[in-house]
């Protein structure tokens, strides 16, 4: 009925878990990432993690809950990468931070030789329409990324690297679209060098004062 205390690392447990939860989630992520939600079987995950079904279901609930968890953690990681690249520096380097971030995203897609794309895009494409949890989490993630970008654009404007007359909100939305678009056309088969060029071109076109 109610949620019991699961595994608080040090809680007194009757029998301790024999697996590392993080490692299991990593493996599960690999599976979902490679094959999508509908395309991966719980048996695959059991196999990949070495867990029996009982443990798997006991620890994570059903397939949907497990996916939600993996998806949500992915979204968190996506935002954290952006935060790591974008926040906390002088205005003088804001434009460089923006360039670095956009180029990094392009490079990631360019190097994705296995064409797995991004779990965020894949999950949203497959499930956002029917699954409110996925839809909500992906919308949240977009909003967070947009805010990060807007903040840096404003900083670059303050320092005079981007035209102060431009609307930072709109530029942020455009950059986000370019980043997500690169991932989309990359999955659709556009070649890696073109992907890198797209990032550079977008950055070149940002309005100067």
**Which stretches of the chain bind DNA, using CB under 7 A?**
4, 6-7, 12-19, 40-43, 50-55, 57-59, 62-64
What is the rounded CA–CA span in Å between residue 182 and residue 107?
10
> In b/e form, how buried is each residue of 68-80, taking b as 16+ CB within 10 angstroms?
bebbbebbeebbe
The binder of its own copies chosen from 43, 158, 197, 209 (CB under 8 A): 197
Q: Is 117 in the site for its own copies (CB under 8 A)?
A: yes
- Please report, to the nearest 10 degrees, the dihedral formed by the alpha carbons of residues 143, 148, 149, 153 taken in order: 130
Q: Is 124 in the site for its own copies (CB under 8 A)?
A: yes
- Per rule CB under 8 A, count of chain residues that contact its own copies: 53
Residue 57 binds what, of DNA, its own copies, none (CB under 5 to 8 Å, by partner type)?
Answer: DNA
Q: Is 39 in the site for its own copies (CB under 8 A)?
A: yes
3-class DSSP state for residue 18? coil
Report the nearest approach of its own copies to the CB of residue 60 (Å): 21
Q: Which residue, among 95, 108, 97, 113, has the nearest Cα to 196 in the 3D structure?
A: 108
The binder of its own copies chosen from 120, 149, 153, 155 (CB under 8 A): 120
The binder of its own copies chosen from 93, 159, 180, 192 (CB under 8 A): 180
Select from 12-20, 84-92, 96-104, 129-137 the region that touches its own copies (CB under 8 A).
129-137
Report the nearest approach of its own copies to the CB of residue 71 (Å): 12
Report the nearest approach of DNA to the CB of residue 57 (Å): 4
Strands (E), 58-146: none
Q: Count Cβ atoms below 10 Å from residue 42 Cβ, excluding itself.
A: 16
Contact 56, 98 (CB under 8 A): no
Q: Is 42 in the site for its own copies (CB under 8 A)?
A: no
Show the tokens assigned to 171.
Answer: 């530029």
């Amino acid at each position: 009925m109610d949620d019991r205390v699961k595994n608080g690392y040090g809680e007194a447990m009757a029998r301790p878990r024999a697996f590392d939860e993080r490692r299991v989630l990593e493996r599960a992520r690999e599976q979902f990432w490679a094959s999508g939600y509908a395309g991966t079987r719980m048996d695959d995950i059991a196999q990949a993690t070495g867990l029996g079904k009982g443990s798997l279901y006991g620890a994570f609930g059903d397939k949907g809950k497990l996916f939600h968890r993996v998806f949500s953690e992915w979204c968190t990681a996506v935002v954290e990468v952006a935060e790591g690249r974008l926040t906390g520096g002088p205005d003088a380097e804001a434009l460089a931070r923006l360039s670095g971030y956009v180029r990094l995203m392009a490079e990631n897609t360019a190097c994705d030789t296995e064409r797995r794309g991004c779990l965020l895009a894949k999950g949203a494409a497959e499930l956002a329409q029917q699954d409110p949890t996925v839809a909500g989490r992906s919308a949240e993630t977009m909003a967070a990324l947009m805010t990060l970008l807007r903040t840096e654009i404003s900083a670059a404007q303050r320092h005079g690297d981007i035209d102060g007359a431009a609307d930072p909100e709109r530029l942020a939305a455009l950059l986000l679209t370019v980043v997500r678009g690169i991932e989309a056309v990359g999955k659709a088969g556009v070649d890696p060098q073109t992907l890198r060029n797209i990032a550079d071109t977008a950055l070149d076109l940002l309005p100067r004062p």
